Structure 1
Amino acid sequence: MITVGFAQTATIKGVILDENNLPVEKVSIKHNTNGTETNANGFYTLTIPANQDVSIGFTHLSYKTIQTTFNLKNGENFEFNPIMNSSIEQIATVVINSGQRKEVQGIVTLNPEAIRKIPGANAGVENLLLTLPGVSNNNELSTQYSVRGGNYDENLVYVNDIEVYRPFLIRSGQQEGLSFVNTNMVKNVDFSAGGFQAKYGDKLSSVLDITYKTPFQFEANADVSLLGASVSIENMSKDSKFSAIVGARYRDNSLLVNAKETETNFKPAFGDIQGYFTYKFSNKFHLSFLGNASLNKYNYEPKTRQTNFGTLTDPMALLVYYDGQEKDQYQTLFGAFKGTYFANDDLTLHLIASMYNTQEQEHFDILAQYRLGEVNANIGDENLGEVEYSEGIGGQLTHGRNDLDALITNIEHKGNFKIEENRIEWSLKYTNEDIRDRLVEWEVIDSAGFSVRPITKPANEQPYEPYTGPLEPYTNVRATNHTQINRIQAYAQWSKRSEIGSNEVWYNAGIRMQNWTVSGEGISTNNQTVFSPRAQFTIKPNWEKDMLFRVATGLYYQPPFYRELRDKNGIIQPDVKAQKSIHLVLGNDYSFKMWDRPFKLTSEVYYKKLTDVNPYTLENVRIRYRANNSAEAYAYGLDMRLNGEFVPGTESWFSFGYLKTEENIDNRGYIPRPTDQRLKFAALFQDYVPNVPSLKMYLNLVYNTGVPGGSPSYADPYVYQSRLPDYKRADLGVQYVVTDRNKQFDKGWRKPFKELSFGIEIFNIFDVQNSITNTWVRDVRNKRQIAIPNYLTPRVFNVRTTMKF
């Protein structure tokens, strides 16, 4: 039998235990005439109507009845785990819309199902973040993102309250491999773009807070495409004490990179395995372990490249012939234990211990010989498109032997205490970072047969006068570092729900402290301490219109991580100060109904004043700091997002962002920062064919105005202020759903599947030539440097199938 449902629904699931922490079988769970019952493990799942109060009763002959009310969003999965007692009268519970708490705190909650379905060259959590206002990334091969003018190093990422890290040496989106977050394991995604609470760490821009699932029954997921595959398996023991979810992923970017303009032998192999395990020793004590092991290999052997650029009246081309190769490898291991003690209903204590180890290498020797010239633009000419006149002829030899081994260990105590309407949270954390790094990079540039000497050396008159000095590389960086950083972090914060007259209000205030010491071989020990006070206030007026207003402010510090201590010559500068930023965020949420369906308009204006700024250059996704706190900066802007059911039963949204961020280096005046993404428009749209509702469409649109295009190596950024072209991209996914929760089969080959779908994806539908950086080539006639755009991926087709058992 086939059943198809089009109503707006949500899902409640969980496990029911008794007072001895044992599963209760055959508990009857009913809403009106719909119902289910728990299995031998005490697990249940129930589909209910969305966007309305739904009363549900939990009944069993041997236990007291529990009566509960829910109000959930369309498509929401809510976890409810009541404990049934045989001797104490159960108290009715009202569960409000689960999104309200996050809205009060200025946190955006993303639906994990949307994360798994939305198409993108790097599909996953970060792909969905890029559709939010204020979040930008002009490189679809990278999972990194900048938020409201910050760089990639300014974003916090947590998984189950545990901070996670990314590799250090990565210089290109092609080398990155996989994001840490495995979407098959995700239960909840929260994101804050600024003005976040003291309980989140010491970064300047944003917080991504991920919660992994705690399984209640057996389930297996698989996702297979031309870009790779992922599988996950989850289950719970019969006594409901032990649960486990394990996921493995493999990715190959060849489909994307081999479609680019550079002809290469490209062999990427990115893989990882993750596991999240929980054991409930009792109702009061739970122990969990989160582990991850990844291995990313990147072998790159370029052959030729031709880049056409310029204008219709003055077309030009760069032809490059390569010799050599690059071999990179990034191996990371991560493990974390988390013990949770539920002292009583009001007091919860945690102890977290984690370790992160990364072993990375970048080894490359690439010789590039180029011709820069004018292109034949005569239509009908047999040499149309070929270079007729060479304006620049030269070569470039780059060499690298970069190796890094980092071990980061953490131990943290966290607590959460409720006193009536007050909540007090605190933490004390110790971190040790042991980093061993060898950096060897040099570059020799040749133009028309003459070596181009470093710009810091005395000028010569080549080719008009011979130069008899020794051959020297244009850039030459050599450093060996063994650095240790010890950190002590702590925070305390208070929050409360209350009322002012008939208006609901929420308060939050807290303070963070961090002390760190930098030491190592050949490094003078340096110790610093910072304090970071933060506060939030939210009010929901008792108006006919459903509105909510927020204000958040604070003094935010970012104590330097290893990369921020290393200057452009690779030398560690231990006295680098923490970058400092004052945040002010004003927000408004307006919820309303349109076409009898729910919508919400979220608006935020923000201002950030930054001092002790550590200037940097951005090469693709590689950040190189000056390590001298020689700048000040500011950022301000407006973010808006309208989300709702533009198509009944689906959630879509449209985003707009305006940003201006500038910095003043060495008091030379303000210039745009490398992340000055002035305007942003984005849309995530879901739809289905009315007469064939199993045929679904997912559209991901992004338009960003151009960011500053960078400058040649070690050049003065005040001289090079041109911008890259606007970034325009549309990704389309079309999916046919064979089975899902509303369409099940009692017999045949489709019976084992809880979900099964097949689809195609088209990345960069309109085949727009977006560029991420410039390659700088010298013109031998007038010694100028010409910016040659490095284009990103063209239109690419992908085939994908997903399934759940």
Structure 2
Amino acid sequence: MSRFFVLILLTLVTQTIFAQRATVKGVILDENNQPVPNVNIVADGEGTQSNRNGFYSLSILANKNVVLTFSHISFKKVVLRLTLTDGEDYEFNPVLKVNIEQIDEVVVSSKGRKTVEGIVNISPEQIRLIPGANAGVENILKSLPGVNSNNELSTQYSVRGGNFDENLVYVNEIEVYRPFLIRSGQQEGFSFVNSDLVQNVDFSAGGFQAKYGDKLSSVLDITYKTPVSFGASLNLSLLGGSASVETVSGDGKLSTITGIRYRDNSLLVNSRQTETNFTPAFGDIQSLIKYKFSSKFHLSLLGNFSINDYDFQPISRQTNFGTIDEPIALLVVYEGQEQDQYITTFGAFKANYFVNEDLTLKLIGSAYHTLEEEHFDILAQYRLGEVNSNIGDQDLGEVEFSEGVGSQFTHARNDLDALIFNLEHKANLVKNGNQIDWGVKYTHEDIRDRLREFEVIDSAGFSIRPPFPDFDNDQPFEPFDAPLEAFQSRRATNFTKIDRVSAYLQWSRRTYWGENEIWMNAGVRAQNWTVSGENIDRTSQTVVSPRVQFALKPNWNKDMLFRLAGGFYHQPPFYRELRDPDGVVQPGVKAQQSIHVVLGNDYSFRLWDRPFKLTTEAYYKSLSDVNIYTLENVRIRYRANNDARAFAYGLDLRLNGEFVPGTESWLSIGYLKTEENSNNTGYIARPTDQRLKVAVLFQDYVPKIPDLKMYLNLVYNTGLPTGSPGFEDPAEFQNRLRDFRRADLGISYVLADRQKQFGKGHWLNKFKELNLGFEIYNLFDNRNAITSTFVRDVNTRRQFSVPNFLTGRVFNIKLGMRF
């Protein structure tokens, strides 16, 4: 680790060192945007081949006119002429064609489309290797600046001051959804995205184009693999397992990829301070089927079925908190159980019609159905007392004096049935250096929801009523004659239908301004939505969102790129945003609006003859018609009245490169401030006001044993402004949780991979990849808290904030293989 931190220091304080060579790299695709493996790339006698994902990298001489030839037996060859400066990292993504005559010579900008658009591209291999309690795409995202999460059991994340509901997720251009009733991370299981099937991951933390949907914060754009040959994988661990199979027909027209996953969170949940009987069952199966009817018409089908069966029976809990001088403990004994079930079915088709070399038409349809049940009856009898802190006493750590006793009974019978249909047309036209994208989409949402939940708190033999200001209890001096009432109670039945029509149109162009390369994008999207249903006044609203992007690549010796993006971003309310705190649908809820400005810079350089890149982005958001919410674990509850304004601003930095030769690591630093003002009562911190974030993703290997590899995932976040007791005005009472510190370590030994293959007769000959791993989650056993429970002391009438801790140190073993 010492060389890692020394390298960071040197990077920030020394001049960059350039070699006398440059690098050309990229991804080779066919006409259908699918990767082409085994393409020969030759330049001045030096050469390489693209891998099975179409990726290649070739070192060439700098300051010299070099001719590169891309050739494959099944495609027309491509010739590229270019002259690169010392240490330049040039990205070239050729498209190989079969039936159409290829242009003799092609020159493409070195910066590529994703860089100028401000999109972060993440390697699928990193996703599968980097350790985490919830390993996968979201685990990697949480290591990026501006992306925050204080819950390792959840795949949800917030971006630049937004909440979990403000992030778009696409798989093969199809929008996907998550369950509605999930209230804690341990209930989730895993996200929709299956890492075994992923080919490409693009992520934008803000300032994205008009072609993406109507959300305020971010876009995660996933592309699943299209198999080119038979393949299979199997991954096993103490948390569950996954398997995938890739097939291709003899004529190459039909391809399928199918993945199945199973997860059991018992290993993680049992590391918490609450003793439980816990029997989870999280499983799903996904399949992507593609068929090429001709060179012009392709059809793909994506299907998913998942079930989360969550049975939870808490037994007891002891949480020690307070100070060294005044240690306090909360002891709880439970009765009852929680039984939740989430069954999700998703199906989609995507039809591509390639009219000609310039025009592509798409038709996408999808259906999402979820049946969710949240049923629990849990009685918690608690005792709050002073802890014996006398060192050497045989009762050290035991509770000696009880300051408060009481009980809490929570009940829920919540059921939800949601059906969502989408039908969308998209198109892409490239002509004379201009690119025009357009689309129109219709969505129908039919949601049937029954909410039945209450909480009763009893202390010293009497029921505690809600602390409303018009209620006065003078017991024992005056008799209590008011009716008993639950501390919290919600009862609602909603049959809601939402119809949406959205459309977008955008233009892009890459050109030159003198000797400087520039890229421009301008677009607009609009949406009209109508809310109706039983006992709901029919309400219709419309929003229009213009957006622009501009990128400049100056003709400088140093490789610099500047980006500016902004516009109006609207988020028409989804069903959860329409429900007020009592669970009643408010059809007149407006779309939240954000005026978003992002200024970014990419600086690519070489240090110690290895490539590095420093990305810096400053952003500002001005939000209006804000729908204030409360956040408890991963459950969000909105006020549904658009009565606030808010702002968010910050600075994100990310330094990535080969800190260790042959591996990619990065350091992320983010600063964020976001506040809201409800009814002009003054600005206070929003629930996602995560001021400082530092993350390190580091890869290394033993020099004399390169097959022994190490992966380290470090995250530090300052505490969130949450944990306020119920019924308190957050403008008068806000409590921040403790800072979040977490380190996950993975060690693996590679028995076989692409560079380590064995001949016939060897037992490893059948494996394309085989590795055995050992992981330690929460390496330093930090006691991170996700929420606070407030317990009353009836003697002093004080409320104690008792932290609810996340998982402790956990050990896991992994086995991964590919055939």
Report if TM-score (shorter chain) is over 0.5: yes
Is the Cα–Cα contact under 8 Å of residues 12 and 48 in structure 1 kept in the other structure? no
Partner of 1:164: 176
The change in CA–CA distance for 1:28 and 1:549 in structure 2 (over 3 A counts) is closer
Is the Cα–Cα contact under 8 Å of residues 41 and 68 in structure 2 kept in the other structure? no
Is 1:660 the counterpart of 2:669 in the alignment?
no
1:335 equivalent among 323, 335, 347: 347
Shift of 1:425: 0.5
In the alignment of these two chains, the number of paired residues is: 788
Partner of 2:305: 293
Partner of 1:686: 699
Is the Cα–Cα contact under 8 Å of residues 720 and 736 in structure 2 kept in the other structure? yes
Partner of 1:752: 766
Aligned equivalents of 2:569 and 2:142: distance in 1?
24
1:419 equivalent among 431, 437, 442: 431
Q: Give SS of 1:564's match.
A: helix
The change in CA–CA distance for 1:241 and 1:93 in structure 2 (over 3 A counts) is farther
Shift of 1:448: 1.3
The change in CA–CA distance for 1:670 and 1:344 in structure 2 (over 3 A counts) is same
Partner of 1:787: 801
Partner of 1:4: none
1:2-401 mapped onto 2 (5 Å cutoff)? 32=45, 49=58, 55-58=68-71, 66-67=78-79, 82-84=96-98, 91-94=104-107, 100-401=112-413
Partner of 1:3: none
The change in CA–CA distance for 1:375 and 1:291 in structure 2 (over 3 A counts) is same
Is the Cα–Cα contact under 8 Å of residues 678 and 705 in structure 1 kept in the other structure? yes
Q: Give SS of 1:143's match.
A: coil
Aligned equivalents of 2:218 and 2:40: distance in 1?
44
Q: Give SS of 2:539's match.
A: strand
Shift of 1:382: 1.3
Aligned equivalents of 1:25 and 1:646: distance in 2?
28
Q: Give SS of 2:268's match.
A: helix
- Identical counterparts, % of pairs: 64
Deviations 1:67-93 (A, max 9, x none): 4689999999998663345x9576244
Partner of 1:492: 505
Aligned equivalents of 2:722 and 2:123: distance in 1?
35
Is the Cα–Cα contact under 8 Å of residues 559 and 605 in structure 2 kept in the other structure? yes
Aligned equivalents of 1:710 and 1:354: distance in 2?
39
Aligned equivalents of 2:315 and 2:244: distance in 1?
38
Is the Cα–Cα contact under 8 Å of residues 139 and 173 in structure 1 kept in the other structure? yes
Q: Which runs of 5+ in 2 are unaligned?
A: 1-21
Amino acid in structure 1 at the alignment position of 2:231:
E
What TM-score comes out, normalization by structure 2 length?
0.92
Partner of 2:15: none
Amino acid in structure 2 at the alignment position of 1:540:
K
Aligned equivalents of 1:505 and 1:47: distance in 2?
26
Is 1:510 the counterpart of 2:523 in the alignment?
yes
1:567 equivalent among 580, 594, 601: 580
The change in CA–CA distance for 1:303 and 1:164 in structure 2 (over 3 A counts) is same
Amino acid in structure 2 at the alignment position of 1:622:
R
Aligned equivalents of 2:750 and 2:91: distance in 1?
20
Partner of 2:731: 718
Aligned equivalents of 1:103 and 1:722: distance in 2?
40
Amino acid in structure 1 at the alignment position of 2:224:
Y
Partner of 1:582: 595
Is the Cα–Cα contact under 8 Å of residues 77 and 96 in structure 2 kept in the other structure? no
Is the Cα–Cα contact under 8 Å of residues 564 and 625 in structure 1 kept in the other structure? yes
Q: Give SS of 1:83's match.
A: coil
Is the Cα–Cα contact under 8 Å of residues 92 and 112 in structure 2 kept in the other structure? no
Deviations 1:80-128 (A, max 9, x none): 663345x95762445665x621110011111111011000000000000
Is 1:642 the counterpart of 2:639 in the alignment?
no
Amino acid in structure 2 at the alignment position of 1:316:
I
Is 1:550 the counterpart of 2:559 in the alignment?
no
After the TM superposition, which of the residue ranges 181-190 and 25-34 deviates more from structure 2?
Answer: 25-34
Is the Cα–Cα contact under 8 Å of residues 64 and 90 in structure 1 kept in the other structure? no
Q: Give SS of 2:577's match.
A: helix
The change in CA–CA distance for 1:113 and 1:658 in structure 2 (over 3 A counts) is same
Amino acid in structure 2 at the alignment position of 1:431:
T
Deviations 1:596-617 (A, max 9, x none): 1111100011110111000110
Partner of 2:494: 481
Is 1:765 the counterpart of 2:779 in the alignment?
yes
Aligned equivalents of 1:104 and 1:465: distance in 2?
72
Amino acid in structure 2 at the alignment position of 1:672:
A
Is 1:537 the counterpart of 2:550 in the alignment?
yes
Is the Cα–Cα contact under 8 Å of residues 495 and 508 in structure 1 kept in the other structure? yes
The change in CA–CA distance for 1:412 and 1:693 in structure 2 (over 3 A counts) is same
The change in CA–CA distance for 1:69 and 1:757 in structure 2 (over 3 A counts) is farther
Deviations 1:276-304 (A, max 9, x none): 11111111111111111100011000000
Is the Cα–Cα contact under 8 Å of residues 710 and 717 in structure 1 kept in the other structure? no
Is the Cα–Cα contact under 8 Å of residues 415 and 451 in structure 2 kept in the other structure? yes
Partner of 1:628: 641
Amino acid in structure 2 at the alignment position of 1:703:
Y
Q: Give SS of 2:314's match.
A: strand
After the TM superposition, which of the residue ranges 777-786 and 630-639 deviates more from structure 2?
Answer: 777-786
Is the Cα–Cα contact under 8 Å of residues 410 and 429 in structure 1 kept in the other structure? yes
Shift of 1:177: 1.4
Aligned equivalents of 2:60 and 2:189: distance in 1?
39
Aligned equivalents of 2:814 and 2:748: distance in 1?
9
Amino acid in structure 2 at the alignment position of 1:666:
N
Q: Give SS of 1:708's match.
A: coil
Is 1:604 the counterpart of 2:604 in the alignment?
no
Shift of 1:330: 0.4
What TM-score comes out, normalization by structure 1 length?
0.93
Is the Cα–Cα contact under 8 Å of residues 723 and 789 in structure 2 kept in the other structure? no
Aligned equivalents of 1:790 and 1:247: distance in 2?
35
Shift of 1:55: 2.9
The change in CA–CA distance for 1:95 and 1:247 in structure 2 (over 3 A counts) is farther
Aligned equivalents of 1:221 and 1:507: distance in 2?
42
Shift of 1:33: 7.3
Amino acid in structure 1 at the alignment position of 2:126:
A
Deviations 1:170-199 (A, max 9, x none): 100011111000011111111111111101
Shift of 1:13: 6.8
Shift of 1:536: 0.7
Is the Cα–Cα contact under 8 Å of residues 456 and 486 in structure 2 kept in the other structure? yes
